[in-house]
Amino acid sequence: MQLNLEVAAHLLLAFACCQTLGAHLPCREPSDAELEAMLSHQLAPGLSILAPLEGVWPDRDLKPCPVNVSQTSPHLRDMSTSPWSYRVNEDPQRYPRQLLEAYCLCEGCLVDRQEDRSGLSKPFLQEVLVLQKSGLCKGGRYVYQPHRLQVAQFCICIFP
């Protein structure tokens, strides 16, 4: 009887250990290809996520408001009365993890070679679909949910 009790106790302990280890198995991240496929599946036909901007490099440091509108730059962002530049919006809990977003260089608008504060430089926002990590683990992989995010594309000058 004592032996049966010991065997039962060992079996119960082994079962408990296996259950505990099974509960703490690490959850893995889906691959970028899997996340891309999930995101593509969520998009309506003909829509896509933001395409990378060709030849656009994000700023390491925020740029100041220029003295006036550039007459020589080939970039619309430099010729605008509401100039802008780009920075990286990074979130390791989201796919895509990095997005380029515009930021306005001036509070006001560039008029007659100076900043006019009666006008306001405002970002133009576009809603994009991303996948946000939920924190849940299903089938050994983290679960990502569709999420709509507003991303600044460029800046415009408004006179309220």
CATH of the domain at 65: 2.10.90.10
pLDDT at position 143 is 96
- For 110, the domain range is 28-158
pLDDT at position 23 is 53
pLDDT at 80 over 70: yes
Query: Which tens digits make up the pLDDT trace of 35-65?
Result: 988 888 887 665 656 656 667 788 888 899 9
Q: Chain-wide mean pLDDT for the chain?
A: 83
Asked if the structure places residue 35 within a domain, the reply is yes
Asked if the structure places residue 13 within a domain, the reply is no
Higher pLDDT, 105 or 8: 105
Query: Which tens digits make up the pLDDT trace of 93-151?
Result: 999 999 999 999 999 999 888 899 999 999 999 999 999 999 899 999 999 999 999 99
pLDDT at position 12 is 45
Asked if the structure places residue 75 within a domain, the reply is yes
Q: Give pTM, 2 decimals.
A: 0.73
pLDDT at position 58 is 87
The number of domains in the chain is: 1
Asked if the structure places residue 9 within a domain, the reply is no
Rounded average pLDDT over 85-96 = 94
pLDDT-derived band at 22, boundaries 50, 70, 90: very low
Question: What does the CA dihedral 127, 133, 135, 138 come to, rounded to 10 degrees?
Answer: 120
Asked if the structure places residue 2 within a domain, the reply is no
Asked if the structure places residue 20 within a domain, the reply is no
Asked if the structure places residue 16 within a domain, the reply is no
Asked if the structure places residue 126 within a domain, the reply is yes
pLDDT at position 19 is 43
DSSP letter, residue 6: H
b/e 118-156 (16+ beta carbons within 10 angstroms → b): ebbbbbeeeebbbbbbeeeeeeeebbbeeeebebbbbbb
CA angle 60, 65, 70 (to 5 degrees): 100
pLDDT-derived band at 28, boundaries 50, 70, 90: very high
